[in-house]
Amino acid sequence: MSKKANPLAIGMFVTGAAILALFALVMFGAGRFFKETNNYICFFNETINGLDVGASVKYRGVKIGKVEKIIIRENPKEKKNALISVVFSVASTDYEKMLVHNKFVTFDEILERAIQEGLRAKLSYQSFVTGMLYIELDFFEERNKGFTKNYEGPDYIEVPTVQSGNIAEFSKKMLDIADSVSAMNLAEIGSNLNNALVKVNQKLDELDVKTLNDKTVQLLSSADSLLNDDDLKQSLKNMNIAMESVNTLMIDARNNLNLLTAGGHKLIEETQTLVTNANTFISPQSPFRYELSSLVVNARNTANTLRELLEYIERNPNSIITGKAKQNK
């Protein structure tokens, strides 16, 4: 006989599970649903291929929101220049913390002030591999630069945009690459590659691998025999001895040259001393030259006196006996 389930226990179990689920939802990230979010709009007149609903909205690299919806806004007069409107949401509390710390300023006031300072929206690549885009908010324009408004409604504040030229250029290049790949005759390229591989295989088969291997072994054996030759070893030994002798000779020559240089320096110093002494002797102010000049003058005077005496004796030979005659007064 089966036991009947207790409805009270079942109800308490379900109630407890619901409370735990709600607690987990609040603790593990669901609390963001209770944050106040603001929606804004921006308009792009270029391709937004790669921008999907749910794409990130970043301010200087920091994610602050996401794309909520994308709407094509046609211009009846110029259908080629249709604008694409993108609505994105931002959690105002997070964005206020990044812009200012004044809690009394509303987020809309912060955003309008930033737009006046040059804040603009631009498309950027999140990954060049996947081609996914995101909206980047930053100060791309100068302060107080005006812009043309495309939205006058009460639901959103319009964030002006700037042109993202690299998006269109990159898309065009990717299309050109795709067209080039499509234009390739892959079947012909594969056939040519296969033929080339067949020819290479044939050339490899034509090689006499055994003969080539034997010649290689023979060459290696000859090289080994040459390296182990006694005459070669002795020649290398003699060359080493000769190099050592040359090295010793060079060292001796350098030492002798140093000695010769030192002797030359000493000879030059002694010569300079001799020249200095000679200059001292023959200089006009030197005592030696004065004494020599006096000696020459005295010798000249003595010679003159001796010449006069000889002339007098020659005229008066008897003066040698009688002496010099007295002159009459």
Is 139 within 8 Å of 122 (Cβ atoms)?
no
Note the pLDDT tens digit of each residue in 235-274.
888 888 888 888 888 888 788 777 777 777 787 787 777 7
The domain limits of the chain are 32-174, 208-261
Is 104 within 8 Å of 110 (Cβ atoms)?
no
Average pLDDT, integer, range 126-138: 86
Q: What is the pLDDT of residue 27?
A: 55
Note the pLDDT tens digit of each residue in 188-205.
787 888 888 888 877 777
Q: Can you give the length of the chain in residues?
A: 329
Average pLDDT, integer, range 269-285: 71
Is 138 within 8 Å of 122 (Cβ atoms)?
yes
212/173: higher pLDDT? 212
**Could you tell me which residues come within 8 angstroms of residue 59 by beta carbon, excluding any fewer than 6 positions away?**
95, 98, 136, 137, 138
- Average per-residue pLDDT for the chain: 76
Backbone angles phi, psi at 262, to 5 degrees: -65, -45
Q: What is the pLDDT of residue 284?
A: 66
Reduce the DSSP state of residue 105 to 3 states and report it: coil
Note the pLDDT tens digit of each residue in 105-124.
677 788 888 889 999 999 98
pLDDT at 103 over 60: no
Is 42 within 8 Å of 135 (Cβ atoms)?
yes
Q: What is the pLDDT of residue 209?
A: 67
CA separation for the pair 119, 137 (Å, rounded): 7
Q: What is the pLDDT of residue 67?
A: 94
Q: What is the pLDDT of residue 266?
A: 80
Average pLDDT, integer, range 151-177: 76
The predicted model scores a pTM of 0.43
pLDDT at 52 over 80: yes
